[in-house]
Amino acid sequence: MDASCDRAGMKIEAAWLVLSVFSLVFAGIFALLVALARTPVIEEMLPLGRDYIYVALVGHVVLAVVIWFLAFEGFLWVHSSSTLMKKMVLSQSLGWVSISASGAGMALVVISAVFGLGPSELANYVPVLHTPVFFSGLILFATGILLNLVNTFGTLFSGERTALPAVTVGMAASGAGVAVAFACFGLSWWFQYSTGKMFLDFERLFWGGGHMLQFSNTMAMTAVWLYLARMVFHEEAFPPSLSKALYCLFLLFVIPSPVIYFIHDTSTLSHMESFTWLMRWGLGTPAAVFTLLLAWKIFTAQKPWGDPGFSSLVLSVAVFSLGGLIGVSIEGANTIIPAHYHCAIGAVTIAFMGLFYKILPTFGRPLWSERLARIQPYLYSLGIVLFAVGLFIAGSHGVARKAYAGEQELGTAARFIGMSIMGIGGFVAITGGIVFVINALFSLFGRQKTGLLH
């Protein structure tokens, strides 16, 4: 691989990094709009008035949980299949088409949510706005992700056959998980359409594929854990053969999942419970093994706490573990459920942010502020923990899931205290997110030595 090809591939990687950071920028803006939509007087000035809170929630969730994860994974797929493997990207043209399609899709999602172009539906995994602009944005973004996966697997299978690093295997497994998730979305749409339904049930449309996306995000997070551990400890956290076996175990539950659509109708409880069972056992078991092995490595190794890569690794493992413990206690539809999944998605975000800090200098862009990078993982993680603990306390005393403002019925001290802790945690987490975005944007676009982004 000559230097020019290497530089061209890294430009595509850098573009995915930029897209992922901007997804967090807009996710933060919508988090602010959610707060404004609860503020007297201001709420009446927003599009759709008081109902705008639900539109802003859709924008925030889609950008923070769907687009941010898949965009950063877009970077990881290119990086793990080309740079780590010392290979040329299979097709630079396809690489730029994929990033362009995903970028345009994200822009349409942002526009539809900013202007409240359609009513909201808070479906699990992928909430939606009922407007062609929003749906066009989702489809465009997904098209870019699929094209990137085609390029990634084409790159992996091109040239000489060599042993794949554990990180590359993890990201290939994650990519396979996303492909299966999209297949599940397509099957759900087809089976609903073929029955002659007048309207799509979006909860059922995204249920199966949404579960598979959680597999993919978890596999990507564990791959980043391995990458960070190698960067920090200068050695593998544990034998690569064990990591690869765990990824095979993940895929053992992921690959057959589309068969569920041919066994259980999408409208049945059995259909939903089948995917829940797959995630409980197929995701929980290998993820728990990864967590225990990384925790042991961290415990026995030298601990460079001033390194944001190390602190992000530790905090991601810790927050993910907390989420697992909370998940065991879930009963009923209360706020313990979002307490669990906010820890899970928070752990993914912490890991991705930590890798951003470690990987950016390889693109000729040193961090704008090392001090902020050292502080930010602790700040964001503290916010996530407080947010989850508050929701856990409130849910333990009966606060319903997806209840907002006066609907929450905070008549008891425990409910009020729990939701107050949640609010404080949300503020701290948002602050941590803002610190990351500021540092990332100045690092990417500030006046520094010439890098790949110029």
Note the pLDDT tens digit of each residue in 188-202: 999 988 776 667 899
| pLDDT for residue 163 is more than 60 | yes
Q: For residue 21, what are its two tokens?
A: 């950071």
Strand 120-121 to 128-129 pairing: antiparallel
- Top mean pLDDT of 142-151, 319-328, 387-396 is at 142-151
Q: Give mean pLDDT, residues 157-163.
A: 82
pLDDT for the residue 101: 98
Q: Distance of alpha carbon 275 from its chain centroid, rounded?
A: 19
Q: Region 372-389: what's the mean pLDDT?
A: 95
pLDDT tens digits, 87-102: 899 999 999 999 999 9
Over the stretch 11-36, which tens digit does the pLDDT of each residue have?
A: 999 999 999 999 999 998 888 777 66
The number of residues making up the chain comes to 454
Separation CA 124–CA 33 (nearest Å): 21
Report DSSP letters for 280-332, one per residue. IIIIHHHHHHHHHHHHHHHHHS---TT-HHHHHHHHHHHHHHHHHHHHHT--S
Tell me the average pLDDT across 270-277: 93
Residues 6+ positions from 81 with CB-CB distance below 8 Å: 87, 89, 152, 153, 155, 156, 168, 171, 172
Q: How far is CA 60 from CA 110, 113, 454, in A?
A: 9, 9, 30
Q: What is the pLDDT of residues 43-100, one digit of tens each?
A: 455 565 567 788 888 999 999 999 999 999 999 999 999 999 988 999 999 999 999 9
pLDDT band at 450 (very low <50, low <70, confident <90, very high): very low
Q: Are 222 and 214 in contact (CB under 8 A)?
A: no
Q: Which of 266, 295, 275 is nearest to 211 (CA)?
A: 275
The percentage of residues in the chain with a pLDDT greater than 70, rounded to a whole number, is 90
Q: Which of 386, 413, 385 is nearest to 399 (CA)?
A: 413
Cα gap 100→97, rounded to integer Å: 5
Q: Give the tens place of pLDDT for each residue, 304-339.
A: 988 999 999 999 999 999 999 998 877 767 788 888
pLDDT of residue 364: 86
Residue 132 has pLDDT above 90, yes or no: yes
Report how far Cα 173 is from the mean position of its chain's Cα atoms. Answer: 16
Distance (Å, rounded) from C-alpha 37 to C-alpha 179? 36
* pTM (predicted TM-score): 0.92
Q: Assess whether pLDDT exceeds 80 at residue 355.
A: yes
Domain boundaries along the sequence of the chain? 1-157, 163-296, 303-446
Angle at alpha carbon of residue 358, lines to 68 and 225, rounded to 5°: 70
pLDDT at residue number 64? 93
Secondary structure of residue 120 in the 3-state scheme: strand
- What mean pLDDT, rounded, does the chain reach? 89
